[in-house]
A and B are shown apart, each in its own frame.
Chain A
Amino acid sequence: MVLHTVNASPSNAAFSQCLAVAAADDAIILMGDGVYGLISQCSAGQALAHCAAEIYALDKDMCAAGIKHKPEQVTLIDMDGFVQLSERYPRQIAWY
């Protein structure tokens, strides 16, 4: 059970590397430039749709980026939600 925080856009190797190793019982939080994965039609962005892990995105970062729609399976969280996820997942790894 790993909490992955992705702070890199879909064209950055960090994004696809995270998806390649995320497990079904992991969670991924898109933050910073990672939120662009919500709109990307590039292969990394599409890989997000097929990822077995739970996908979350920081609401403020999504708004800042001007992204209006998100895939249904992605849950928006605020900072309190971020902390709640860190409580649930014993280990976190930052991808950037």
Chain B
Amino acid sequence: MSSERRKTLIVVRRAPYGSSLSRASLDAALALAAFDQLVDILFMGDGVLHLLPDQMSSNIGVKNVGKLLSSLPLYDIDAVYLDASAAQQYQVDTANTPVTAQQLDNAGIQRLLAEYDHLLGF
């Protein structure tokens, strides 16, 4: 592997505002994209809660993750994936998410993981 353009998948498993890891995962994704690396994001388990609309994080004085996600296409992060069963459990309205995300079942996630050079689990 001598190529300098690797394909990385960021796997986000935590809800947006309860852990610093959430923001860390998105900062890593943005940095990869800014340096012209290939990067996609998978929201799994509680991570699907990043995709709830109308997040008003100013109420807790922190940056708005939903707004950040809506700008992902501008940063060349095109492929965003969503754990379908978690989305269903949390009643995430997949037609109304800050960024378009492709739903995957467990078999789909299994296939997805094998497509990347690097997997960063947060």
A binds B: yes
**Are the CB atoms of B13 and A93 closer together than 8 Å?**
no
Answer yes or no: B45 CB below 8 A from chain A CBs: yes
> Which residues of B have CB within 8 Å of A95?
13, 121
Quick one: which of A1, A13, A23, A96 contacts B121, CB cutoff 8 A?
Answer: A96
**Are the CB atoms of A21 and B116 closer together than 8 Å?**
no
- Size of A's binding interface in residues, CB under 8 A: 16
Query: In the assembled complex, how far is the CB of residue B10 from the closest CB belonging to chain A, in whole angstroms?
Result: 11
> Which residues of A have CB within 8 Å of B2?
none
Mark interface residues in A52-96 (1 if CB within 8 Å of B CB, else 0).
000000000000000000000000000000000000001111111
Interface of B is mostly: mixed
Answer yes or no: A22 CB below 8 A from chain B CBs: yes
**Are the CB atoms of B113 and A21 closer together than 8 Å?**
yes
Q: Specify the chain B residue showing the minimal Cβ separation from A14.
A: B13
**Are the CB atoms of A93 and B117 closer together than 8 Å?**
no
Q: Specify the chain A residue showing the minimal Cβ separation from B104.
A: A21
**Are the CB atoms of A23 and B114 closer together than 8 Å?**
yes
> Which residues of B have CB within 8 Å of A92?
119
> Which residues of B have CB within 8 Å of A17?
13, 44-45
> Which residues of A have CB within 8 Å of B114?
1-2, 23, 91
Answer yes or no: A20 CB below 8 A from chain B CBs: yes
Answer yes or no: B63 CB below 8 A from chain A CBs: no
Query: In the assembled complex, how far is the CB of residue A26 from the closest CB belonging to chain B, in whole angstroms?
Result: 8
Binding site for A on B (CB under 8 A): 11, 13, 44-46, 106, 109-110, 113-114, 116-121
| 24 pairs, A vs B, C-beta closer than 8 Å | A1-B114, A2-B114, A2-B119, A13-B13, A17-B13, A17-B44, A17-B45, A20-B106, A21-B106, A22-B110, A23-B110, A23-B114, A91-B113, A91-B114, A91-B116, A91-B117, A91-B118, A91-B119, A92-B119, A93-B120, A93-B121, A94-B121, A95-B13, A96-B121
